[in-house]
């Protein structure tokens, strides 16, 4: 089916108080696995490409064009989202390439500077019909730059959303980026308070550090978009390592990347069902 606008996936989920999985693409196998998992679950999904991944590939276009093509060929709704972009130029490129949403991250800036930069991005993206996510509260762990104990203030979040006209807000509620263990302690009460004061969907970053039970509780409390990356990367890498150990003479990368892709597809399907409350 055609590429799906991000709002067409997020809005119904927020109304139904269910969650949507947003999974990061590092290489083409990730995009293939994520879409295959969504098709198995019969649920919509969001493919995310970060600024770090664009840098890894040398530019945004190669991995973006591949992901957009895979999304457009899916049998379930798939959106393609730019994740953690700090460069306004990269945001403009993503819009021109056909991304359905962007996440502009100015969370390390002082509040007033974050508002000003984010509003500039929002104005540009909305003119192109592109949905915008921003971050307030400096979700911990990204490149070791943020304190994991930071929490988003509900009153500040309401003012920020109004001033920037964003379509969704990533908030700091206890999760942390790049966690290798699933033992983050979420502030479910804060999630509920944020939901009550905001008219836009809430986004949970650092969800790889949250176990299944707490993911479900976070969605019930008010989270809609749930970002997961490190958890899938761990599974992908572990599967590759196991295949290489089992086949020490293997030369064909399809022999170890294929099983890793299949393992990620299975986990995406499982996680989507968790977030959907099935």
The catalytic residues are: 83
Decide if 267 contacts 232 (C-beta within 8 A): yes
Decide if 217 contacts 188 (C-beta within 8 A): yes
Angle of helix 88-97 relative to helix 111-127, nearest 10 degrees, comes to 20
Q: What is the DSSP string of 128-188?
A: TT-EEEEEES--BTGGG-S-TT----HHHHHHHHHHHT-SEEEE-SS-BTT-SSS-----H
Strands 168-171 vs 131-136: parallel, antiparallel or unpaired: parallel
- Tokens representing residue 215 in the block: 């993911």
């Amino acid at each position: 089916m055609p590429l799906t606008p991000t709002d067409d996936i997020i809005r119904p989920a927020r109304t139904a108080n269910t969650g949507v999985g947003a999974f990061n693409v590092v290489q083409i196998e990730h995009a293939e696995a994520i879409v295959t998992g969504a098709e198995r679950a019969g649920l919509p999904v969001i493919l995310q490409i970060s600024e770090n991944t664009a840098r890894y590939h040398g530019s945004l276009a190669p991995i973006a064009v591949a992901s957009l093509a895979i999304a457009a060929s899916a049998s379930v709704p798939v959106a393609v989202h730019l994740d953690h972009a700090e460069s306004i130029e990269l945001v403009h490129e993503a819009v021109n390439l056909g991304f359905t949403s962007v996440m502009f991250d100015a969370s390390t800036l002082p509040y007033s500077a974050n508002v000003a930069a984010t509003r500039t991005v929002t104005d540009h993206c909305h003119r192109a019909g592109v949905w915008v996510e921003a971050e307030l509260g400096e979700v911990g762990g990204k490149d070791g730059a943020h304190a994991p104990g930071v929490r988003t203030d509900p009153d500040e979040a309401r003012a920020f959303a109004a001033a920037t006209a964003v379509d969704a807000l990533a908030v700091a509620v206890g999760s942390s980026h790049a966690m290798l263990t699933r033992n983050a302690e979420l502030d479910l009460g804060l999630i509920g308070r944020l939901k009550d004061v905001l008219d836009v969907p809430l986004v949970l970053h650092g969800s790889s550090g949250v176990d299944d039970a707490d993911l479900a509780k976070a969605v019930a409390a008010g989270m809609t978009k749930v970002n997961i990356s490190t958890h899938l990367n761990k599974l992908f890498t572990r599967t590759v390592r196991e295949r290489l150990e089992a086949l020490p003479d293997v030369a064909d990368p399809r022999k170890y990347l294929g099983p890793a892709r299949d393992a990620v597809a299975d986990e995406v399907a499982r996680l989507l069902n968790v977030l959907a409350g099935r």
